[in-house]
Structure 1
Amino acid sequence: MDIKNTLQSFSTMTYSARQQFMGQNGDWMLQEMLTHIGSPDAELRDKLIYRTFIDILSDNLLSTEQIQYLFDTAISDDFLYLNIGEEMTDSVFTRSFSALLVASILAKDAELLILHDDRLQIFFQKIGRFLLLEKDTRGYVQDKGWAHSIAHGADLAAMTIKHPKFDLQHAPLILHALKLVTWKDIVFVNDEEERLINIIEALLARNYSEEALIEFVEQVFDKFEMHLVTQGYNDAFFSGRTCTLNVMKTLYFALKMNNLAPKLQNTIYGQVAKWLKLGA
């Protein structure tokens, strides 16, 4: 069977027909979907494989063993971390869409609580590495569709924080990655900021310390001073400054519109005003 044709056919099946198909061919189809999760064919990767993963998770068409297998495979070095650090190569599609798959599995497991605790805890301890190490910042890739690895990594980090078994002691590792993600020698242009601030909103929803987030914001802006002292006004400073300010402004308005964390709002406002020299 050809996986593309199979998924096209699967998308038109009734629920009962899907159940029967998964009972007979589910393991084969899942393996093929994983094999091609990073395909440069946007239709196969995004419109068929990713959407089918969402459908079969939402419709409870997977066994506990299959969900665990997908999770263990997707978080591995051959998927979520495949060749991480590379730029401008097709490996980004495997990393990026593995991130989306893991986020979807975590959302489902938040309801079911079936994933093995020991594997979850190992994953929680490492999650900050993805945004920290990912260097391929492309959004839409001509002829290949969306890569968007930074945005998908942000989605994964936010969903990880929302998981009921996530221990907030791991939050500083995610915040460290968030602090540095804006210093990748590029200014984001595909709404990555809106996805990145979901990390902060997820922490607030878990009652994470507002004081700790204020300290995080102060450290974010301390990096401006540190860069100027060590490297001066170079291209990296201006791209990092602009990208960081864009994220912080987006966060400020999100907090203000939702009446969240007033002290954090004030800290962000003061720092943004300082570095934009407002009122100077």
Structure 2
Amino acid sequence: MKDTLEKILHMNQLEREQYMSTNGDQLLEQMTKIIGYPEDELRDKLNYRLFIELLSTNVLTNEQMAHLTIKLSGKDYLYSSIGKTEDDSVFTRSFSALWLAALLYADAQLRFLTEEQSTEILEVATPYLMKELDVRGFLGDKGWALAIGNGSELATAIVSHPSFKLHLTSKLLEGVKASFWKGSVYINDEEESFAKLIGLLISKNVAEEVLIEWVEQVFDKLEFYLVTNGYTPQYFSARTNTLHFMKQFYFLLKFTRRMPELMGAVSIFIGKWSQQ
């Protein structure tokens, strides 16, 4: 498979179009089978790279893109072995999220999905960030897992899509809040991707009071856990993740000059919890 991917990557645009016209469906089937292969070179540097090139150069047909989007949002890909934290299934979920994000961004421009299909896929994919529990980053020769970061990118693509509906906001916010409590401190800029996501929700006119209430709930959870369980490793990792995110979020609000009441609430909580 490596030889095939390398050969296609080295083709010019015309050669690639000719190849895809006769072999495209078969190639995409083979590529999805190895979407989560636990080796960095094959999965990331060859397979994912070729997918992005095919997508960005308009070589894929509308039917192929629609088929891929529907397929990758299902239980065998985005939700494959969801809930597991120490096996290689994370690569299938993480890269399905990454491919799906790219496809949703493309569909926002090309509209190869029907309205019914896009609405259903957004509904199905929205809980992913909440359900994903594997927080690992770089895994040696296997490469980057980054399921939480890629899940956040998928969530951003969902909010960016023309079929996005505001009722999905609560699940997305719950997914971000849940991500603070997954037992590890993030070190790969996940908090920046969360802030970008919430900033995009603000641009979609999510009510300021909704976000203020969410911020209060985030810190209420910290308070309740501390009172109930004390100073555990779980508490400290969640506190660190929460404060790192809130500081990113504060500066996003400050620079965009939107929602001053929300910015004030975030500032007060940062001040309070930075002392604990």
TM over 0.5: yes
Matched-pair contact (CA < 8 Å) for 2:5–2:47 = yes
Does 1:190 find its partner at 2:178? no
Displaced runs of 4+ in structure 1, greater than 3 A? none
Any idea what the Cα deviations from partners look like across 1:132-186, whole Å, max 9, x if unmatched? 1111100111111100000000000011001011111111111111111100111
Deviation at 1:108, TM superposition (A): 0.3
Quote the residue 2:271 is aligned against.
Answer: 273
Quote the residue 2:163 is aligned against.
Answer: 165
Matched-pair contact (CA < 8 Å) for 1:85–1:136 = yes
Quote the residue 1:262 is aligned against.
Answer: 260
Deviation at 1:92, TM superposition (A): 0.4
One-letter amino acid of the structure 2 residue matched with residue 183 of structure 1: W
**Where does 1:38-77 land on structure 2 (aligned, <5 Å)?**
38-77=36-75
How many positions carry a matched residue from both structures? 276
Deviation at 1:76, TM superposition (A): 0.7
Quote the residue 1:127 is aligned against.
Answer: 125
Write the distance in 2 (CA, Å) between the matches of 1:230 and 1:123. Answer: 39
Does 1:88 find its partner at 2:102? no
Does 1:247 find its partner at 2:235? no
Write the distance in 1 (CA, Å) between the matches of 2:3 and 2:82. Answer: 31
Does 1:223 find its partner at 2:221? yes
One-letter amino acid of the structure 1 residue matched with residue 177 of structure 2: K
Quote the residue 1:108 is aligned against.
Answer: 106
Write the distance in 2 (CA, Å) between the matches of 1:124 and 1:23. Answer: 30
Match of 1:11 among 9, 13, 22: 9
Percentage of identical aligned residues? 43
Matched-pair contact (CA < 8 Å) for 2:6–2:46 = yes
Quote the residue 1:212 is aligned against.
Answer: 210
One-letter amino acid of the structure 1 residue matched with residue 212 of structure 2: I
Any idea what the Cα deviations from partners look like across 1:31-50, whole Å, max 9, x if unmatched? 11100000111111111111
One-letter amino acid of the structure 1 residue matched with residue 49 of structure 2: R
Matched-pair contact (CA < 8 Å) for 1:154–1:198 = no
Write the distance in 1 (CA, Å) between the matches of 2:53 and 2:258. Answer: 34
Deviation at 1:255, TM superposition (A): 2.2
Write the distance in 1 (CA, Å) between the matches of 2:42 and 2:253. Answer: 38
Matched-pair contact (CA < 8 Å) for 1:19–1:61 = yes
One-letter amino acid of the structure 2 residue matched with residue 185 of structure 1: G
Matched-pair contact (CA < 8 Å) for 1:81–1:95 = yes
Long gaps (5+) in structure 1: none
Write the distance in 2 (CA, Å) between the matches of 1:264 and 1:271. Answer: 11
Matched-pair contact (CA < 8 Å) for 2:126–2:158 = no
Write the distance in 2 (CA, Å) between the matches of 1:256 and 1:53. Answer: 37
Long gaps (5+) in structure 2: none
One-letter amino acid of the structure 2 residue matched with residue 223 of structure 1: K
Quote the residue 1:181 is aligned against.
Answer: 179
Matched-pair contact (CA < 8 Å) for 1:128–1:176 = no
Write the distance in 2 (CA, Å) between the matches of 1:74 and 1:16. Answer: 28
How well do the aligned residues superpose, as a CA RMSD in angstroms?
A: 1.3
Match of 1:150 among 148, 151, 155: 148
